[in-house]
Structure 1
Amino acid sequence: MIDLHEVSVRQVRGIGAQKAEELGSLGIRSASDLLEYFPFRYEDYHVRDLTEAKEGEKITIQGTIYSEPVMQRFGRGKARLSCKVVSDKFFITAVWFNRPYMKEQLKPGLEIVLTGKWEGKRQQMTVSTSEFVGKENSRVGTLQPIYSVAGEVTQYGLRRMIAQALAQYGEMIQEVLPHELMAKYDLMPRKRAVALIHNPADVSEGNKARRRMVYEELFLFQIKLQAYRAMNKSRADGIAHTVDSEAVRGFVRALPFQLTDSQKKVVAEILEDLRKPFCMNRLLQGDVGAGKTVVAAISLYAVVKAGSQGALMVPTEILAEQHKRSLERLFEPYGIQVGLLTGSLTERKRRELLASLQMGLIDILVGTHALIQEDVFFRKLGLVVTDEQHRFGVNQRSILRRKGMTPDVLTMTATPIPRTLAITAFGDMDVSTLRELPKGRKPIKTYAVKHDMLERVLGFIDREAKAGRQAYVICPLIEESEKLDVQNAIDVHAQLTHHFPSLRVGLLHGRMSAAEKEEIMTAFGANELQVLVSTTVIEVGVDVPNATLMVVYDADRFGLSQLHQLRGRVGRGEHQSFCVLLADPKTEVGKERMRAMVETNDGFEIARRDLELRGPGDFFGTKQSGVPEFRVADMMADFETLELARDDAAELVARSEFWTSIEYLPLRQYLQREQVLTGELLD
């Protein structure tokens, strides 16, 4: 049987070099890619009765042209064409924009089918497509698939190419799901599902075909993760660290605070993983301020005591410098050397640092993505910690991992993901969660106010400063933008400096040099600056316990999780802290964000609402965040199927016959093609 993944799209009749290149830009290179390029919705051309139509709905109706068309011209080359149409007992106005050529075709008495937006109040339809009754190749009575297209590829052209691929290769489509799972969920065969998803007779048939392909897509994703996981658990090619439990207990006892129960549980899980001879791959998630950094420090301490080096990779230089300082304070009594590698080091200092690292004189290296440059070599890398993992691409994390022989990996995020979704999306990772906040933390009081209350907000800043406290003021832009009517940091800094002559107001943004940023943050940390105007460069990890007020200009411009991160910069000391969101949201999404921020301080609830508002693609960061981009499945809408697929895949992989029986050969071939069986590390 021919493997359609191996058949070039050029072998589909009618597709030449030019068309193949255009399809390549959509990721379509093989016959299989073309057949599995599924529509994301359908346009329904079944004729409806106007009595059923809802205001603003797109529908198809049939009627008779009643009057001569009227043309109105306006602007440069723009035209509005209208005529009266009788459809059953309705007498409506049909309107076409910028199609003057149709004037000659619209003759009274002709039967016509119109598809467009229905405006019941005005008894009018704005027509998107129309055709006369009796036309060959009519769309009337069909569901037309709508695909994601770009460049020179058109809907009509793509439909023709897919139809040709189905005619040529449709019979060669191979089943991949085991019979038992198809029977369990009453799924149609793959061959039929691929044909019907492109060309369903009605909505219900299209939904059945989609249901089959959604399950298959999620199941194949899970079988890949579960098979990798099963193989990795049995491969003793990691480092079995000799963890000195007594030394770790002494380190924890010497901390200036007590660990929460949640932190103790997570530390125990990590230490257990470090002792095992396979690679740890653990996601540590916790709300803002839940104490992930100290868990990472304990893990790094255990690895260094066991004779290996550690690496901590963070997204910004400010955060790298802060982590270096806090780790140095913790490790100083133990003689552990902490190095810092960022892009702003001088060439001489960089060379000295890299030489020390390679000789093993540096125990822990903290840095930005500079850590993964080619000339960075460790003597014995045992643990890689990445902070705010959704900001790093998959490739960046795997390059760092490959700098050690097979180091353990701890991935941290303060963007909490609903636990079941995390386990399912990051199926190849163990997930640890910090739910508690350290004792004594007071919940931050959050207010959403309109910009016309700015004077009162400025009075609030003044009161906090007079009480000896400090404030952050966050703006979405650095400089004035012609396109966006939003506050920018440079202007706000000037305004606040003028408004508060007795206060010192600092400015921080991403275009400043590392030395300038460091100087500003040091001054703010020492309370030499009472107000810090900043862009979101301070979003993660910056820790100034005396800062009690966070003001965010144009807050509706930020995502929910980002707002929650910003709010987490305050509330780190003994005093009550506040967050004020200045916004005049115009959209429902903007209003919902403000509501969510005022109603809850719980990062997991914020994450759930953010996921609903934004969808997983945005929520997890870029396309290379490690969360899959599914073709037909939707991680939110199809979440229950995702969980079923995970359970089915885990159960199947655990069976010995999965690895030997002829019934599961298509799945093993899939795993081979995806390189899961080659021992390549999944990321």
Structure 2
Amino acid sequence: MFHDPVDVIPSVGDKTKEQLELLDITKVGDLLFHFPFRYDFFELKPINEIQHDETATIQGQVVSEPNVSYFGRKKSRLTCTLQVGVVAIKAVFFNQAFLKDRIKKGETITVTGKWDMHRLQITVQQLQPKSFNEDQTIQPIYHSKGNLTTKQIKKLVSYALKSSLEEVEEMLPEKYLIEYKLPSRRQAIKELHQPSSKTALKHAKRRFIFEELFIFQLKMQWIKSHNRAKSKGSSKVYDKQLVEQFIRSLGFTLTNSQNRVLEEILNDLKQPYRMNRLLQGDVGSGKTIVAAVALYATYLSGQQGALMVPTEILAEQHEESLKELFGDLLNVELLTGSVKGKKRRERLESINNGDVDIVVGTHALIQDDTLFKDLGLVIVDEQHRFGVAQRKTLRDKGLHPDVLFMTATPIPRTLSITTFGDMDVSVIDELPKGRQPIETYWVKENMMDRVRQFMVSEVNNGHQAYVICPLIEESDQLDIQNAVDVYEELQEELPNHINVGLMHGRLNAHEKDEVMRSFAENETQVLVSTTVVEVGVNVPNATLMVIYDAERFGLAQLHQLRGRVGRGYHQSYCILLADPKGDTGKERMRVMTETTDGFTLSEHDLQIRGPGDFFGKKQSGLPEFKVADLVEDYRALEVARRDAVDVLKHNLLENDPEYKQLKVLIESDPKIQERIFD
């Protein structure tokens, strides 16, 4: 029966079949895995144990005739008195006048609703069936489509349990069932649909949380293992002492975090397989230095390195800082869309014949006419800005360099394990010594005069300021500040010696570069901008960030914007202008003022927004689980990942018959084929 079409069930006609198909239920067995999305718990408690405003279930004898009063259009209020032990309580039913004929004086009824301990009153949400007893205290609620009801789905699931449950095969080896005290797959399915107790339901959920996360992590580790085995990477041989000598020459000491990450990356470079690593580091944590050391080790091995960034001005800044770091040790060149004509031809020739050791650039690095002599390492900064297809272009050219992706977006460990599970992940989680935490304040619009005075004070002390607005121009729909208005307002109200610049997404690339250059060179002291500066240039002299309508931004974006200041050794400030109406907005402002740690913020953001919204629905690539929750079940995710790594390490999918089902499931997944190298 398990694989039979769903319309073999006697009560399923054409219409019901269509509605079930909308829920991806086409076979009888599919019903077994259409799990309830929540449960209503009806636990009978003594009156004195129920908290005020708690949703409670109460059983009592009706001691007064039900009375209905009408008010407004189609609105009603039904009341009756229940005797519960020695206490008389009032039961109130809003807009349920039809229940009057079902409630009889002298009968015992069970109701669920909100308890008011001060008035000894329950506002009833649900009248339980007359046959209600303690065994019915957990009621599953299912997602449904069309006219399908939870009651109908329950009946269909009940049929499937009787006819098909015995055909369900166990997916997990016995080792995990014993070690984690998990029920069998069949037991867990039955308990999820027809819970016998809260404890049994909890263990059934634990079983499927582990199964879902374990299978997902197995797929991620399988992709990683497969790609590593197939990769045509080359083992880099370099003089370790020269690398250490270069690190000592930097003029500052690397943080423990930077040293740990460097060790991981340098170890990867020595391996015969291709590196596929993500480097996470908060804004200003020193990722560029780590990248420079990795590029230097690649140069010592006799190969070229490339650093790809999203914007021209960022490319120019990286080129400048790398030239400063390396001096005459090696040759660093820039390749962007602005390098044209004879200069471009000469530079391409130098790259092709190996005269250039490190190339810094934008998408120009992956154009057809860019040919390397021996490309050993590609570092992609702000990796989410580049598509998979663009990164794949390097491989299509016949190049198989080690690849290091870098991001300043702090990603919670839970999402990092999930989204980048097929990559190695390194994290820089401390700031360089001497950096002062950015002081963050949340103020209302009526404080704007004081904010402007503070801005003038910072500029008079030789510093600069960013002012961020959500919109470019005025909107009739949204009552929020816009960049053009704020720019004109500040030009008028700030002293004449303060130059104000304007930056937004409608400027072309050349115009943006000019605006940013003017700001970077302190020709402009105050830059009014939209969020296009979120990932951008390094201006150590900027010490003040003012964000209008800050409640309109997520925590991750606010943190990225705040990270534009505090790049030097001067005390920096971030001022959030916001008047949030809802609790979520107020919570964001509170968290922003309490911590400057990006990873702490990202965890808060994950809790507030949920995993689907953290990266954005379309590009997240996050899996959809039936039972597991990435936020709540992060400990199970860690365990599942550890076990999955162990399975691949000991080749259990190939060698142990108990893993046969898992092997078939993984190898038959079409999505896996999209993520493996040819």
Q: What interval of TM-score do these two structures reach, taking the shorter chain for normalisation?
A: 0.7 to 0.9
Q: Deviations over 1:605-637 (max 9, x none)?
A: 333444444444444554643554432122343
For each residue in 1:448-501, what CA deviation from the matched residue of structure 2 results, as whole angstroms up to 9, or x when unmatched? 333332222121111112222211122334445566554333433343333225
Question: In 1, Cα distance between the equivalents of 2:139 and 2:664?
Answer: 34
Structure 1 residue corresponding to 2:264, chosen from 243, 257, 269 = 269
2:81 is the counterpart of 1:85:
yes
1:72 corresponds to:
70
**1:441 counterpart = 2:435:** yes
- What is the letter of the counterpart of residue 463 of structure 1? S
C-alpha distance in 2, partners of 1:154/1:358? Answer: 70
> Is the contact between residue 505 and residue 529 of structure 1 (CA under 8 Å) also seen in structure 2?
yes
Matched, 1:462 2:480: no
Whether 1:237 and 2:232 are equivalent positions in the alignment is yes
Q: CA deviation at 1:284?
A: 0.8
Following TM superposition, by how much is the alpha carbon of 1:521 offset from its aligned partner in structure 2, in angstroms?
1.8
Query: Does the 8 Å contact 1:45/1:140 carry over to 2?
Result: no
Classify 1:56/1:37 alpha carbon distance in 2 versus 1 (closer, same or farther; 3 Å).
same
Residue 39 of structure 1 pairs with residue 36 of structure 2: yes
Structure 1 stretch displaced more, 168-177 or 357-366:
357-366
2: distance between equivalents of 1:601 and 1:487?
25
Aligned 8 A contact 1:303 1:310 in 2:
no
Q: Distance in 1 between matches of 2:503 and 2:25?
A: 45
**Corresponding residue of 1:329:** 320
**Structure 1 residue 550: deviation in Å?**
1.0
**C-alpha displacement of 1:14:** 5.5
Would the alpha carbon gap of residues 677 and 326 (structure 1) be closer, same or farther in structure 2, given more than 3 Å must change?
A: closer
Aligned: 1:118 with 2:118? no
SS, match of residue 121 in structure 1: coil
Distance 1:266 1:681 in 2: 25
- Deviation string 1:296-332 (CA, Å, 9 cap, x unpaired) is 3554566578556746254xxxxx2233212332566
Q: Which residue of 2 aligns with 1:548?
A: 543
1:339 is matched with: 335
Whether 2:619 is the aligned partner of 1:598: answer no
Tell me, yes or no, if the aligned pair for 2:414 and 2:637 is still in contact at 8 Å: no
Deviation at 1:604, TM superposition (A): 3.3
Instruction: Output the CA distance in 2 between the equivalents of 1:21 and 1:511.
Output: 47
CA contact (8 A) 1:9 1:28 kept: yes
Listed one character per residue, the Cα deviations across residues 485-521 of structure 1 (whole Å, up to 9, x for unaligned) are 5433343334333322523333333344333333322
SS at match of 2:440: strand
Which whole-Å CA distance do the structure 2 matches of 1:172 and 1:95 have between them? 46
Match of 1:472 in 2: 466
Amino acid at match of 1:286: G
Of 280, 284, 300, the residue aligned with 2:275 is 280
CA displacement, residues 53-91 of structure 1 (integer Å, 9 cap, x when unaligned) = 3222223333427344324342xx541332223241233
Deviation at 1:587, TM superposition (A): 4.7
Between 180-189 and 114-123, report the one with greater CA deviation: 114-123
Q: Please state whether the residue corresponding to 2:75 is helix, strand or coil.
A: strand
- What TM-score do you get using the length of structure 2 for normalisation? 0.82
Give the equivalent residue in structure 1 for 2:517: 522
Residues 676, 522 of structure 1: alpha-carbon distance in 2 compared, 3 angstrom cutoff: closer
Distance in structure 1 (CA, Å) of the matches to 2:167 and 2:5? 15
- Structure 2 CA distance for aligned equivalents of residues 16 and 520 of structure 1: 66
Q: Deviations over 1:89-118 (max 9, x none)?
A: 233141223x55556656655654433333
Root mean square deviation, CA, Å: 4.2
- Say yes or no: does 1:492 pair with 2:451: no
Q: Which amino acid aligns with 2:489?
A: Q
> Which of 53, 64, 70 is 1:56 aligned to?
53
SS in 1 for 2:451: helix
Find the aligned partners of 2:392 and 2:28 in 1 and give their Cα distance.
33
SS of match in other structure, 2:568: coil
Check the 8 A contact 2:303/2:375 in 1, yes or no: no
Give the AA of the match of 1:40: F
Measure, in 1, the Cα distance between the counterparts of 2:627 and 2:397.
38
Q: Which amino acid aligns with 1:487?
A: Q
Q: Distance in 2 between matches of 1:15 and 1:509?
A: 57
SS at match of 2:437: coil
Q: What is the letter of the counterpart of residue 40 of structure 2?
A: E
Deviation at 1:570, TM superposition (A): 0.7
- Find the aligned partners of 2:406 and 2:655 in 1 and give their Cα distance: 38
Letter in 1 for 2:483: A
What is the one-letter code of the residue matched to 1:475? Answer: C
* Residue aligning to 1:579: 574
Counterpart contact for 1:146–1:155, Cα < 8 Å: yes
Q: Read off the aligned partner of 1:57 and give its amino acid letter.
A: E
Q: How far apart in 2 are the matches of 1:46 and 1:286?
A: 48
Aligned equivalents of 1:651, 1:398: Cα separation in 2: 30
Q: One-letter code of the match for 1:127?
A: V
User: How far did residue 36 of structure 1 move?
Assistant: 2.5
Match of 2:676 in 1: 681
Aligned partner of 2:186: which letter? Answer: K
Cα offsets for 1:623-656 (capped at 9, x unmatched): 6435544321223432322222233333333335
Instruction: Provide the residue aligned with 1:206 in structure 2.
Output: 201
Which position in structure 1 is the counterpart of 2:130? 133
Code of the aligned partner of 1:90: A
Tell me by how many angstroms 1:46 deviates.
4.5
Cα distance, 1:181 vs. partner?
1.5
Gaps in structure 1 of 5+ consecutive residues:
315-319
Work out the number of aligned pairs and report it: 660
Instruction: Report the TM-score when normalising by structure 1.
Output: 0.82
Cα displacement (A) at 1:289: 0.3
Return the offset for 1:195.
1.6
Give the distance between the partners of 2:637 and 2:625, measured in 1 at CA: 11
Native 8 Å contact 1:194 1:209 kept in 2: yes
Cα offset, 1:548, TM superposition: 0.7
Report how far residue 179 of structure 1 moved: 1.0
Residue 215 to residue 338, structure 1, CA distance change in 2 (3 Å): same
CA distance in 2, matches of 1:20, 1:326: 61
Distance 1:264 1:101 in 2: 72
CA separation of 1:672 and 1:483: change in aligned 2, threshold 3 A: same
Is 1:639 the counterpart of 2:639? The answer is no
Moved more, 275-284 or 254-263: 254-263
* Residue number among 192, 196, 199 corresponding to 2:191 in the alignment: 196
